[in-house]
RNA sequence: GCCUUGGUGGCGGAACUGGUAGACGCGCUGGAUUCAAAAUCCAGUUCUUUCGGGAGUGUGGGUUCGAUUCCCACCCAAGGUACCA
């Protein structure tokens, strides 16, 4: 009987769905295992072959853990808020919810086809109100919390209020806005309610603040840095300006150090940890305060605070540079310099930050006319502004040490500012000297002769003495802007009273997204939610009301922004533990049982987005006692990207003629990409199919070589734009899901990115056919197929396995188990192939070999494994069958020759019985050494023998 | 520039703590089966050779009886990141 994968796969997919084979229970005597794949955004294009790679890997591991006796949680859901559906809505008017629903349906069909062991009863969708209710809930918890640096954790805002009532804010050490004024307990009690709220807002973990953003007036929205190209929007090419807007922000900076420290505790890929480390960007140094020299003695003393990692070079300061946006610029600029400074500031404002960063080479700046006083020498230091100083990092001001920093050096050279040398024995006539390790300070008063380390320590203590600075740790990480001027996102559970934000009471969540007429900003420039006619909160009725004009004093406007894409994905892994709970985000029992994710697989592109924000929220949830672990994913693996192989035709310029790949150099040609599905394995193009594909090829002439049109190939990211997307559907249709699963694993190491290429899929497909054949003689003992369903199958061969059979099996068990534990899924496919070839050659019919083999294969190729399992006479799914136990004894041979080479010339063979004891082996090796000594006149220094392995002679 | 990862046949890739490099698959070559094809099976396939061998894991050194594996320098590729003071 042939391997009918269509019938088999259909049968078992239905069986699993009907019997809820993979339903996970929140109570079990078994140990738990939580395996998670990053949930997808359901795009209109459907799944391509790159998506399932990580899912297959997670699925193999989940199924393996199930065989190993774990209670496995393996959920799937959809990150279903997002921009594409909204843009589609803007173009067509179709509600994003409908687009999303359709896309999800298609995703689900495709996922089901691949035979994943997901517990679909736990599916979540971030755009579902029952889900985003809890996203809103977390937002409220963040709003109601502050970060206490003394206890180093988030606490309820009430503890802060208590501190204020007791002693004002002077003793409070909190993560808060820099411009928070000092006040006493008396002040506090004297503040109005609104004043109190304003103060508290500066401490909350999510807060409203004026943030400088990239605003695109034409699109009516804020753009991320990477949405801007050359100062104009990527879409449409509209101008973009820097603008201050009131936005919600998340105080992730409060967690900077803990996010850094936490990386040591988790098993994540090094490159990913490194990008998070860089992103957080911790640097140690000092904050130094310079007094501005004022011509007007009436004026209050202005000070400039700078951050430096090289306080040891303070005597090398010859000027200061402020970012053009710095608050003091307008204040300190002298009348003579005003025109020049204003022009420069204006010119800089027009450039985006990214633009400025890209333009590293040009030196530019303007003198403000003002001077600062050196804290030690009391000398006057000119204050410049320059766009090489970024307002967003540090304090937006630097003390420039041209001899020790190349940028300062270039600036000083360009504007003829003196470059004092403060390094012992270093020539700085050509470039700055920045090597900390070999620094010896000179010309620096009390720092002379000291190393970088000594001088830094000394100067910080001196600065502290004179009140001009402190040692400081600075982070590159910035608070995360949390507002988006979009429709298709979570609404904020926020309404405004007298301009101050108020949280909607938890019991009235979710605050549902309203219907709108159009998905664009309103004419007055408000976000799309401003189009909703019923968008206000009635506190008394606790409802969203339909008309703001009704005569009721208690109706307040709601927040019109929505949350960003990462909001919904920052806690979904916890919600999976108890996704239908309407009373709480999850029950205590559920979180106590599942704890955290044991294995998380997904793409590395989320390194500084989702994977950082979700760690932040988890730490917050931990601080507030909602979750037991402050890192939610112990082990994380980045699966590599599967790239596409685009097909290229060569159009002869100015014609509608196309030259084949080998002939293209004879003409001037343009490269055009065509649908890869029109090309076969040997790069031959189906010309007729191409004519039908797009009208421009209808009348085209093709210049062939050897009667064929050969295309060029280019490996690049799979994208609709390059026509190189390969869908799994066609592969499933032709070879089956098991073949696809095996093949995606066989393609190469999980973490490596690799081009998709169907050339090798016949190899794994024929393996499955061989596997089927290995078992089929047994079924053919039955005159007919076993009865349908689980019952009644006759048990097959009870033949005793041979020693050879057992050896083959246990070799396979050992390798497959090691491979799965190490996530080297690619090599187990080879192991299976070898195993089946050997057992076929051995004419193995023994049930005690074939049963465990089916279990070994089942994580990889679950459908065929289930079918074989049933035919072997089992009534239960193979999913819970215990993983075969490896036994060393079956691998042991009576003796084997092992080669050992000496001096790289002569070869000897040492024959060692492998089942001999350690003492015996050592005795044998001693004897061998003696022989060597006689033969060679020298002895290896030490000999180690491992049973079953080659002899190691270690130097 | 900095950080990270990698570099092995025609191709994808194996090789666990240093121990017969190239497993397994694709492709290719030859053969069997077939009227023929598909499918299947068998044999061969790193390069080179005067058939004894010789060379060989990006390049050049080093440690070692022995190096794809460890150390140093360099080259190349991919990914991340950047006037970060």
Boundaries of every domain in chain A: 282-475, 642-717, 758-890, 893-954
| A311-326 residue pLDDT tens | 999 999 999 999 988 8
| Maximum C-alpha span of chain A | 110
Distance A143 CA to B37 C1' (A): 73
Q: What is the pLDDT of residue A776?
A: 82
Query: Is residue A723 scored above 50 in pLDDT?
Result: yes
A278 beta carbon to strand B: under 7 Å: yes
Neighbours of A97 (CB within 10 A): 16
Identify the weakest region by mean pLDDT among A43-57, A139-153, A344-358: A344-358
Q: What is the mean pLDDT of residues A551-574?
A: 87
Protein residue minimizing CA–C1' distance to B27? A759
A4 beta carbon to strand B: under 7 Å: no
Q: What is the pLDDT of residue A935?
A: 40
CATH entry, A893-954, from 3.10.20.590, 3.40.50.2300, 3.30.470.10, 3.40.50.880? 3.10.20.590
Distance A738 CA to B85 C1' (A): 56
Neighbours of A576 (CB within 10 A): 25
Reference A132, options A564, A631, A577; nearest CA is: A564
Q: What is the signed CA dihedral for A654, A660, A666, A670, rounded to 10 degrees?
A: 40
| A381-403 residue pLDDT tens | 999 999 888 887 888 899 999 98
Q: What is the pLDDT of residue A325?
A: 85
Same fold, A282-475 and A758-890: no
The closest nt to A773, taking CA to C1', is B40
A306 sits in the region (left: phi over 0; alpha: psi -120 to 50; else beta) called: beta
| A923-938 residue pLDDT tens | 555 555 554 444 443 4
Which of chain A's residues 829-858 bind strand B, using a 7 Å CB cutoff? Answer: 829-830, 833-834, 837, 841
| A744-792 residue pLDDT tens | 999 888 988 888 888 888 999 999 999 998 888 777 644 344 434 333 3
Q: What is the pLDDT of residue A705?
A: 74
The closest nt to A273, taking CA to C1', is B4
Query: Is residue A190 scored above 60 in pLDDT?
Result: yes
Q: Where do the DSSP E strands lie in A251-340?
A: 282-293, 303-308, 319-322
Q: What is the pLDDT of residue A784?
A: 42
Q: What is the pLDDT of residue A939?
A: 37
Average pLDDT of chain A is 84
Protein residue minimizing CA–C1' distance to B64? A955
A803 beta carbon to strand B: under 7 Å: no
Q: What is the pLDDT of residue A790?
A: 37
**Full DSSP string of A153-186:** EEEEHHHHHHHHHHHTTSS--B---TTPPP--HH
Query: Is residue A8 scored above 60 in pLDDT?
Result: yes
Q: What is the pLDDT of residue A944?
A: 39
* Full strand arrangement of the beta sheet holding A241-250: A221-223, A206-216, A241-250, A480-481
| A31 or A478, which is more confident | A31
Q: What is the mean pLDDT of residues A140-150?
A: 96
A11 beta carbon to strand B: under 7 Å: no
On the CB side of A452, CA atoms within 13 Å amount to 12
The closest nt to A391, taking CA to C1', is B84
A822 beta carbon to strand B: under 7 Å: no
Query: Is residue A540 scored above 50 in pLDDT?
Result: yes
A769 beta carbon to strand B: under 7 Å: yes
Q: Which CATH superfamily is domain A282-475 in?
A: Valyl/Leucyl/Isoleucyl-tRNA synthetase, editing domain (3.90.740.10)
The closest nt to A478, taking CA to C1', is B84
A330 beta carbon to strand B: under 7 Å: no
Protein residue minimizing CA–C1' distance to B12? A747
| A162 or A949, which is more confident | A162
Q: What is the pLDDT of residue A47?
A: 86
Neighbours of A357 (CB within 10 A): 13
Identify the weakest region by mean pLDDT among A252-256, A645-649, A890-894, A903-907: A903-907
Give me the numbers of helices (H) and strands (E) for chain A, helices first please.
28, 34
Which of chain A's residues 145-164 bind strand B, using a 7 Å CB cutoff? Answer: none
A712 beta carbon to strand B: under 7 Å: no
Quick one: what percent of chain A has pLDDT higher than 70? 86
Query: Is residue A214 scored above 60 in pLDDT?
Result: yes
Distance A416 CA to B85 C1' (A): 20
Query: Is residue A562 scored above 90 in pLDDT?
Result: yes
Cα–Cα distance, A347 to A405 (Å, whole number): 26
H or E stretch at A896: strand A896-902
Distance A857 CA to B34 C1' (A): 34
Band (A364; pLDDT cuts 50, 70, 90): confident
Protein residue minimizing CA–C1' distance to B20? A899
Q: What is the pLDDT of residue A231?
A: 60
ipTM, interface predicted TM-score of the complex: 0.93
Q: What is the pLDDT of residue A490?
A: 96
Band (A798; pLDDT cuts 50, 70, 90): low
Identify the weakest region by mean pLDDT among A754-763, A877-886, A911-920: A911-920
Which strand B nucleotides have any atom less than 7 A from protein CB atoms?
A: 3-5, 12-20, 23-27, 39-42, 64-67, 78-85
Cα–Cα distance, A542 to A120 (Å, whole number): 34
A754 beta carbon to strand B: under 7 Å: yes
Q: What is the pLDDT of residue A759?
A: 80
Which of chain A's residues 207-246 bind strand B, using a 7 Å CB cutoff? Answer: none
Reference A532, options A516, A519, A548, A544; nearest CA is: A516
A530 beta carbon to strand B: under 7 Å: no
| A651-703 residue pLDDT tens | 888 888 888 877 777 788 888 888 887 877 667 788 888 888 888 888 888 88
The closest nt to A753, taking CA to C1', is B78
Q: What is the pLDDT of residue A936?
A: 43
What's the token pair of residue A119? Answer: 């517990």
The closest nt to A313, taking CA to C1', is B85
Distance A904 CA to B48 C1' (A): 22
Distance A101 CA to B24 C1' (A): 43
Which of chain A's residues 596-615 bind strand B, using a 7 Å CB cutoff? Answer: 604-605, 607-608
Peptide bond just before A510 cis, omega within 30 deg: yes
Distance A840 CA to B42 C1' (A): 15
Q: What is the pLDDT of residue A782?
A: 44
Protein residue minimizing CA–C1' distance to B25? A763
Distance A660 CA to B5 C1' (A): 37
Q: What is the pLDDT of residue A928?
A: 52
A932 beta carbon to strand B: under 7 Å: no
A882-886 long-range CB contacts below 8 Å, 24 or more apart?
A882/A67, A882/A68, A882/A69, A882/A855, A883/A64, A883/A67, A883/A68, A883/A817, A883/A855, A883/A856, A884/A809, A884/A813, A884/A852, A884/A855, A884/A856, A885/A813, A886/A810, A886/A813, A886/A814, A886/A817
What's the token pair of residue A24? Answer: 């996970």
Distance A249 CA to B2 C1' (A): 30
Query: Is residue A738 scored above 70 in pLDDT?
Result: yes
CATH entry, A758-890, from 1.10.730.10, 3.30.43.10, 3.40.50.720, 3.40.50.300? 1.10.730.10
Q: What is the pLDDT of residue A550?
A: 55
To the question of pTM greater than 0.95 for the whole model, the response is no
| A594-637 residue pLDDT tens | 999 999 999 888 888 899 999 999 999 999 999 999 999 999 99
Q: What is the pLDDT of residue A547?
A: 54
Q: What is the mean pLDDT of residues A487-499?
A: 93
């Amino acid at each position: 009987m042939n391997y009918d994968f269509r019938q088999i796969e259909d049968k078992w997919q239905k069986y699993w769905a009907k019997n809820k084979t993979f339903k996970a229970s929140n109570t079990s005597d078994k140990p738990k295992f939580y395996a998670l794949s990053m949930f997808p955004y359901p795009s209109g294009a459907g799944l391509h072959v790159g998506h399932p790679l990580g899912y297959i890997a997670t699925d193999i591991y989940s199924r393996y853990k199930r065989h190993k006796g774990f209670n496995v949680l393996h959920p799937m859901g959809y990150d279903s808020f997002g921009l594409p559906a909204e843009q589609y809505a803007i173009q067509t008017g179709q509600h994003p919810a409908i687009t999303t629903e359709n896309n999800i349906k298609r995703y689900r069909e495709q996922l089901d086809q691949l035979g994943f062991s997901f517990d679909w009863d736990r599916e979540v969708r971030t755009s579902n109100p029952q889900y985003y209710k809890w996203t809103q809930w977390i937002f409220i918890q963040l709003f109601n919390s502050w970060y206490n640096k003394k206890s180093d954790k988030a606490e309820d805002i009430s503890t802060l209020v208590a501190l204020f009532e007791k002693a004002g804010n002077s003793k409070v050490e909190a993560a808060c806005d820099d411009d928070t004024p000092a006040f006493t307990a008396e002040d506090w009690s004297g503040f109005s309610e609104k004043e109190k709220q304003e103060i508290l807002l500066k401490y909350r973990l999510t807060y409203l603040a004026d943030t400088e953003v990239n605003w695109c007036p034409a699109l009516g929205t804020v753009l991320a840095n990477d949405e801007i190209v050359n100062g104009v929007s990527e879409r449409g090419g509209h101008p973009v300006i820097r603008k201050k807007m009131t936005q919600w922000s998340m105080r992730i900076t409060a967690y900077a150090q803990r996010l850094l420290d936490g990386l040591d505790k988790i098993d994540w890929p090094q490159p990913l940890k490194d990008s998070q480390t860089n992103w957080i960007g911790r640097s140690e140094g000092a904050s130094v305060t310079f007094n501005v020299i004022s011509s007007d003695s009436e004026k209050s003393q202005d000070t400039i605070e700078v951050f430096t990692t090289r306080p040891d070079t303070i005597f090398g300061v010859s000027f200061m540079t402020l970012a053009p946006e710095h608050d003091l610029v307008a204040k300190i600029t002298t009348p003579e310099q005003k025109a020049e400074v204003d022009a420069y500031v204006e010119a800089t404002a027009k450039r985006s930050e990214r633009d400025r960063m890209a333009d590293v080479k040009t030196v530019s700046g303007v003198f403000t006319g003002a001077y600062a006083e050196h804290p030690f020498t009391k000398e006057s230091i000119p204050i410049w502004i320059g766009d090489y100083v970024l307002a967003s990092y540090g304090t937006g001001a630097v003390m420039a040490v041209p001899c020790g920093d190349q940028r300062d050096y270039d600036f000083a050279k360009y504007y003829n500012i003196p470059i004092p040398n403060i390094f012992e024995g270093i020539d700085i006539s050509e470039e700055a000297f920045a090597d900390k390790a070999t620094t010896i300070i000179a010309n620096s008063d009390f720092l002379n002769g000291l190393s970088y380390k000594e001088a830094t320590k000394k100067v910080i203590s001196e600065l502290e003495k004179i009140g001009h600075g402190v040692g400081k740790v600075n982070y590159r990480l910035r608070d995360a802007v949390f507002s988006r001027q979009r429709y298709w996102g979570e609404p904020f559970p926020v309404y405004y009273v007298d301009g101050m934000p108020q949280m909607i009471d938890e019991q009235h969540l979710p605050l549902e997204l309203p219907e709108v007429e159009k998905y664009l900003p309103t004419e007055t420039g408000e976000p799309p939610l401003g189009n909703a006619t019923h968008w206000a909160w009635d506190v008394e009725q606790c409802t969203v009301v339909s008309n703001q004009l009704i005569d009721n004093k208690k109706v307040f406007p709601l927040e019109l922004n929505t949350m960003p894409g990462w909001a919904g994905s920052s806690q979904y892994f916890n919600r999976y533990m108890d996704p239908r709970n309407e009373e709480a985000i999850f029950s205590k029992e559920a979180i106590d049982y599942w704890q955290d994710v044991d294995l998380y697989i997904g793409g590395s592109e989320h390194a500084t987005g989702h994977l950082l924000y979700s760690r932040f929220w988890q730490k917050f949830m931990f601080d507030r006692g909602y979750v037991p672990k402050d890192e939610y994913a112990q082990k994380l693996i980045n699966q590599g990207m599967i790239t596409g192989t685009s097909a290229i035709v060569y159009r002869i310029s100015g014609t509608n003629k196309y030259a084949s790949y080998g002939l293209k150099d004879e003409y001037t040609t343009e490269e055009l990409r065509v649908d890869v599905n029109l090309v076969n394995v040997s790069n031959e193009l189906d010309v007729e199919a191409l004519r039908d594909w797009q009208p421009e090829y209808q009348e085209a002439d093709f210049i062939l070589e050897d009667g064929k049109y050969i295309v060029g190939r280019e490996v690049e990211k799979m994208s609709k734009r390059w026509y190189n997307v390969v869908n799994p559907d066609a592969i499933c249709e032709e070879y089956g899901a098991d073949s696809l699963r095996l093949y995606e694993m066989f393609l190469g190491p999980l973490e490596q990115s690799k081009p998709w290429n169907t050339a090798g899929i016949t190899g794994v497909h024929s393996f499955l056919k061989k596997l089927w054949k290995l078992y089929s003689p047994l079924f053919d003992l039955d005159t007919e197929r076993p009865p349908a369903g689980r019952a009644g199958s006759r048990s097959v061969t009870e033949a005793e396995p041979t020693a050879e059979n057992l050896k083959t099996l246990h070799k396979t068990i050992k390798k497959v188990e090691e491979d799965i534990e190490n996530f080297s899924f690619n090599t187990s496919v080879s192991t299976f192939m070898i195993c089946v070839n050997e057992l076929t050659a051995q004419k193995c019919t023994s049930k005690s070999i074939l049963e465990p083999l089916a279990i070994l294969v089942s994580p990889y190729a679950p459908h065929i494994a289930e079918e074989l399992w049933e035919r072997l006479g089992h009534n239960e799914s193979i999913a819970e069958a215990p993983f075969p136990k490896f036994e060393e004894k079956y691998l042991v041979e009576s003796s084997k020759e092992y080669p050992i080479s000496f001096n790289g010339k002569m070869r000897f063979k040492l024959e060692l019985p492998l089942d001999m004891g350690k003492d015996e082996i050592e005795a044998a090796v001693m004897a061998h050494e003696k022989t060597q000594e006689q033969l060679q006149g020298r002895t290896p220094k030490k000999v180690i023998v491992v049973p079953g392995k080659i002899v190691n002679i270690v130097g």
